Amino acid sequence: MRVLGVDPGLTRCGVGVVEGVPGRPCSLVAYYVVYTDPADDLSLRLLHLDRSLTGLVAEHRPDAVAVERVFSQHNVRTVMGTAQASGIAVLAGARAGLPVQTYTPSEVKAAVTGSGQADKKQMTAMVTRLLRLAEPPKPADAADALALAICHVWRGGTRSKLAEAADRVRRGGAR
């Protein structure tokens, strides 16, 4: 399974692509950070993000897209930008006809480190170790996007296999 993970942000949007199967180590395909200039008009920033994510989906042809779910922060302006970037990421996957799954930061942390309370340093260290990289992916937005992709391979892949099995049983025959 190839998964494109997106750590949404309006100024910096992390994108990571991994391949793997549930219960096995994943392998790195690529990672990126899409930047937009805060001085640019919002519509141009969102358009740039849309074109970039659409291009990366077309280039890497993932089986699924995993996006970090927006959560409440104290800074409303930051939440708004993150939510707008998240919507663009979900749209890029949906437009390509791909399943899109969102994960909370604590779900991703628990999947990758075993603790939903892990900090950025622990997350980056585990992503580096799990993908057998010589050095940590930088900036942190890229490491977070890779963690989302790993989380989906391990959790979303298992979740979809269970759903497929349940569907087969409902239709009258397990295989």
Half-sphere exposure of 169 (CA within 13 A, CB side): 6
State the catalytic residue, choosing from 50, 63, 68, 167. Answer: 68
68 is in an annotated binding site: yes
User: Distance between terminal CA atoms of the chain?
Assistant: 21
Q: How far is CA 58 from CA 53, 54, 128, in A?
A: 9, 6, 26
| Catalytic-residue membership of 19 | no
Helical axes 120-130 vs 140-151, angle rounded to 10°: 60
Contacts of 55 (CB under 8 A, 6+ apart): none
Told to judge if 63 belongs to the known catalytic residues of this protein, a careful annotator would answer: no
Phi-psi region of 172 (alpha: psi -120 to 50; beta: other; left: phi over 0): left
Rounded CA-CA distance 157/175 in Å is 18
* Candidate list 107, 141, 144, 164, residue with the active-site label: 141
User: Annotation-wise, does 135 bind a ligand?
Assistant: no
Helix count and strand count (H, E) for the chain: 6, 5
Binding site annotation covers 19? no
68: annotated active-site residue: yes
Annotated binding site for Mg(2+), which residues? 7, 68, 141
- Give the residue numbers of the binding site: 7, 68, 141
Q: Catalytic positions, please?
A: 7, 68, 141
